[in-house]
């Protein structure tokens, strides 16, 4: 699952760069700190990382599932798959922070 965090970081970095933003500019737009964005992009989560996913998805106009590597859910099974992936990501994040 560590690769998932790196993949999420790559997606966030590409979205940020597509808007021509620096990490500092994105952090300011989201009301967070530069190092939180940097940690996310490097696949090294901080305790704020998961809290930031909804704001990132809203800011970039994408579904949270797209940030974590799932297509937008179109069926109950897709929704369950997305929820499972987010739960696994949450578990990994908590274990890294302990």
- pLDDT tens profile 8-66: 888 899 999 999 999 999 999 999 999 989 988 888 877 667 788 889 989 999 888 78
Instruction: Write down the pLDDT at residue 1.
Output: 44
Q: Which of 13-17, 77-81, 87-91 has the lowest mean pLDDT?
A: 77-81
Half-sphere exposure of 92 (CA within 13 A, CB side): 17
Largest CA-CA distance found in the chain, in angstroms, rounded: 38
Total structural domains within the chain:
1
DSSP code at position 69: T
* CA–CA distance, 84 with 60 (Å, rounded to integer): 23
Terminal Cα-to-Cα distance of the chain (whole angstroms): 16
Instruction: Say which CATH number the domain at 46 has.
Output: 1.10.260.40
Domain of residue 32 covers 2-97
Instruction: Write down the pLDDT at residue 43.
Output: 82
pTM: 0.69
Instruction: Write down the pLDDT at residue 4.
Output: 67
């Amino acid at each position: 699952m560590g690769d998932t965090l790196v993949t999420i970081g790559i997606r966030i970095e590409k979205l940020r760069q597509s808007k021509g933003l620096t990490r500092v500019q994105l952090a300011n737009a989201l009301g967070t700190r530069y190092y939180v964005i940097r940690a996310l992009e490097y696949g090294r989560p901080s305790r704020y990382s998961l809290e930031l996913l909804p704001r990132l998805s809203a800011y970039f106009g994408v579904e949270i599932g797209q940030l974590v590597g799932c297509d937008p859910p179109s069926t109950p099974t897709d929704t369950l798959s997305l929820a499972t992936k987010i739960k696994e990501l949450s578990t990994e994040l908590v274990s890294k922070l302990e």
